[in-house]
């Protein structure tokens, strides 16, 4: 898996800093969180985030799209996201594999499924859920079953629903 999205035909392409979520069929990486251990029932590999952990979003850096630690990697990038915030947004998160295995410069990076900001707030391109809903999803995700995230604009979702045998609840 190279973290490349699969979409049913032409659609919008995500670019670094555009604030849009990537469209396609995406896979999940591990889970990160503020607690020393994963919540009970979580099956994804878990790592407790520290003040040193960063996801590099500088397209010109060798670690673009990867999570690294400033404890072991000199911070020579121009931009990186902290994996441990002063808010609860990253209290729990699952890495969404998007442009992180063989990153394409400027195609977007550091895409997560995480705790939603307060009403009216947005993300920088991630997908976010209420804490209780996120925890339910994180407990449901089982790497042995190869879970997927289907994230498409409405017109592409409508076109793909029947062909991909998506649940009708996704396409009201």
Helix-, strand-, coil-residue percentages of the chain, each rounded to 5? 15, 25, 60
* Closest-CA residue to 30 (of 133, 117, 100): 100
Residue 17 burial (10 A CB sphere; 0-12, 13-18, 19+): middle
Q: Give the domain ranges of the chain.
A: 24-144
The DSSP 8-state label assigned to residue 86 in this structure reads S
CB neighbours of 109 closer than 8 A, spacing ≥ 6?
Answer: 16, 55, 56, 57, 59, 64, 65, 98, 99, 100, 103
Angle CA(113)–CA(34)–CA(62) in degrees, nearest 5? Answer: 65
Query: What is the spatial distance between Cα 115 and Cα 110, in angstroms, rounded to a whole number?
Result: 15
Distances (CA, A) of 11 to 74, 76, 170: 37, 34, 19
Mean pLDDT by 10 residues, the chain (172 residues): 47 70 90 97 98 96 96 95 94 94 89 90 87 97 94 81 72 46
Look up residue 15 and give its two tokens.
């670019």
Check residue 159 and give its pLDDT: 79
Please name the residue ranges forming H helices in the chain: 131-140, 154-164
The DSSP 8-state label assigned to residue 169 in this structure reads G
Query: What is the spatial distance between Cα 134 and Cα 127, in angstroms, rounded to a whole number?
Result: 10
Check residue 164 and give its pLDDT: 81
Check residue 8 and give its pLDDT: 44
The DSSP 8-state label assigned to residue 165 in this structure reads T
């Amino acid at each position: 898996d190279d973290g490349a999205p699969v979409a049913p035909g032409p659609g919008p392409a995500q670019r670094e800093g555009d604030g849009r979520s990537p469209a396609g069929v995406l896979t999940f990486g591990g889970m990160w969180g503020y607690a020393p251990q994963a919540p009970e029932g979580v099956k994804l590999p878990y790592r407790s985030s520290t003040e040193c952990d960063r996801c590099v979003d500088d397209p010109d850096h060798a670690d673009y799209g990867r999570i690294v630690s400033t404890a072991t990697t000199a911070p020579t990038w121009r931009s990186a996201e902290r994996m441990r915030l002063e808010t609860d947004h990253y209290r729990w998160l699952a890495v969404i594999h998007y442009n992180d295995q063989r990153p394409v410069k400027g195609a977007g990076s550091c895409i997560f499924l995480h705790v939603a900001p307060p009403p009216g707030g947005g993300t920088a391109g991630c997908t976010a859920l209420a804490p209780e809903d996120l925890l339910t999803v994180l407990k449901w995700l089982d790497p042995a079953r190869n879970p997927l995230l289907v994230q498409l604009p409405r017109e592409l979702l409508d076109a793909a629903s029947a062909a991909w045998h998506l649940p009708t609840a996704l396409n009201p």
